[in-house]
Amino acid sequence: MRQPLVAGNWKLNGSLASTKELLAGIKSGLAEVVNAEVVVCPPYVFIPEVQAQLAGSSIAWGGQNLSAEAGGAFTGEISASMLLDFGCKYVLVGHSERRMLYGEDNALVAKKFVVAKKSGLIPILCVGETLEERQQGITEDVVAAQLAAVIDQGGIAALDGAVIAYEPVWAIGTGMTASPEQAQTVHAYIRSQLAQHDGAVASGMRILYGGSMKPENAVELLTQSDIDGGLIGGAALKAEGFLSICKAAN
Ligand code: PGA
201-215 in b/e form (b: 16+ CB < 10 A) is bbeebbbbbbbbbbb
Average pLDDT of the chain is 97
From the number of C-beta atoms within 10 Å of its C-beta (0-12, 13-18, 19+), residue 189 rates as middle
What pLDDT is stored for residue 186 in this prediction? 98
| Share above pLDDT 70 across residues of the chain, in percent, rounded to a whole number | 100
DSSP class of 207: E
What pLDDT is stored for residue 203 in this prediction? 98
| Ligand 1 pocket residues where CB is under 6 Å | 9, 167, 172-173, 210-213, 231-235
Q: What is the pLDDT of residues 75-133, one digit of tens each?
A: 999 999 999 999 999 999 999 999 999 999 999 999 999 999 999 999 999 999 999 99
What pLDDT is stored for residue 137 in this prediction? 97
Closest CA to 183 of 203, 204, 211, 206: 211
Q: What is the pLDDT of residues 50-67, one digit of tens each?
A: 999 999 999 999 999 999
Residues 6+ apart with CB under 8 A from 161: 122, 204
* Mutate-to-test residue for ligand 1 from 9, 91, 163, 245, highest number of ligand atoms within 8 A of CB: 9
Domain residue extents for the chain: 5-249
Task: Give residue 73 CA to ligand 1 midpoint distance, Å.
Answer: 32
Q: Catalytic residues, which ones?
A: 95, 167
What pLDDT is stored for residue 175 in this prediction? 87
| Share above pLDDT 90 across residues of the chain, in percent, rounded to a whole number | 97
What pLDDT is stored for residue 1 in this prediction? 84
- CATH no. of 5-249: 3.20.20.70
Over residues 134-148, mean pLDDT: 98
